[in-house]
Structures are given as C-alpha cells and as structure tokens.
Amino acid sequence: MSTKFFLYLEWKVSFINNCLDEIMRKWINHAFKWYYQQRYKDIQRYMDHPHEVQRALLRQLLDAAKHTEWGRKYYFRSVKTPEDFARQLPIQDYDSLRPYIERMMMGEKDVLWSGQVRWFSKSSGTTSSRSKFIPVPNQNLKQCHIRGTWDTMALLYHNRPDAR
C-alpha cells in the first residue's frame, strides 16, 4: 500500500475523531446547560421564598442533630420554630465549643453533629490570635462547598446563556 493511502487514512481517522469530539462536547455542554437550568429554578425558589426555605433548613439540621450530645443538651427534639431555637440555645463563643471540637477531632462521634466528622477547616484566627478548627461534616461539604460550585455555574449559565 502506498504512503499516500496511509496519510489519507490517518487524516480520515483524525477528521472523524475531531467530529466525534465536537459532537461529544456539544452533547455534554447541552446536558450541563439543562442541569444548570433546573438548578437555577431551585435557586430562584430560594430567592422568592427565603423564610420558608430557612425554616425548612433549620428543621432538617435540628432533626439531623437531635440525637447528638449537643442536640440532647439543648432539647433539639422540642424545637419547633426559630424563636424556640433562639430561646433554647444560648449564644456560644469558640472557647465554649473547644472541648467538644477537640473530642470530635479525636474521632468521637455524635458530639456536635451526627456521626463522625473527619474534616476540619482551620480559621485564620481573626477574632483572636489563635487559629480555630471548624468542623466540616460530609453533609456540609457536599451541600455547601460542592453544591456551591454547581450553583455558581448555574448562575453563570443563566446570566450568560452563550457560555460554553
């Protein structure tokens, strides 16, 4: 077989691969845009009904934490409203939480949050000279940090429909 044939064959395969790449890129972009449109509807609902969303979130968080040491101490099971929560849970500073957080850092479960918390964020120590460790449960990592990235993209695609 001639060299020209192999060059042609190589060009043809490259052309087909480029076409497939472009088709896949367009399909994937379309799928992401669809997801972002759906997610934007949720974000819009949060903006339209912030009080209801916040109440529902408080209820979910209290339900998740009611069996923890902290939840039992402050009777999370009996909290029905944000006002109940404010009445039953005194304002805390980091030093009052430090012993609980240290126990969590040693692997103890169900202290401030349900289950074992494996992630801790280190603060820069802006309110005191010492850094603080903030518990970051897996649920928080997924629902705040990771989802926040997706929500940012949903807002970008909503405000810039031509984005790719």
Residues 77-111 pLDDT 10s: 999 999 999 999 999 999 999 999 999 999 999 99
Distance CA 35, CA 156 (A): 13
Are the C-beta atoms of 90 and 98 separated by less than 8 Å? no
Residue 16: pLDDT band by 50, 70, 90 thresholds? confident
Look at residue 144 in the predicted model and tell me its pLDDT: 86
Q: What percent of the chain has pLDDT over 90?
A: 63
CA angle 25, 163, 16 (to 5 degrees): 20
Q: Do residues 106 and 112 make contact, with C-beta atoms less than 8 angstroms apart?
A: no
CA distance 84 to 10: 72
Instruction: Determine which helix (DSSP H) or strand (DSSP E) holds 121, and give its type and residue range.
Output: strand 119-122
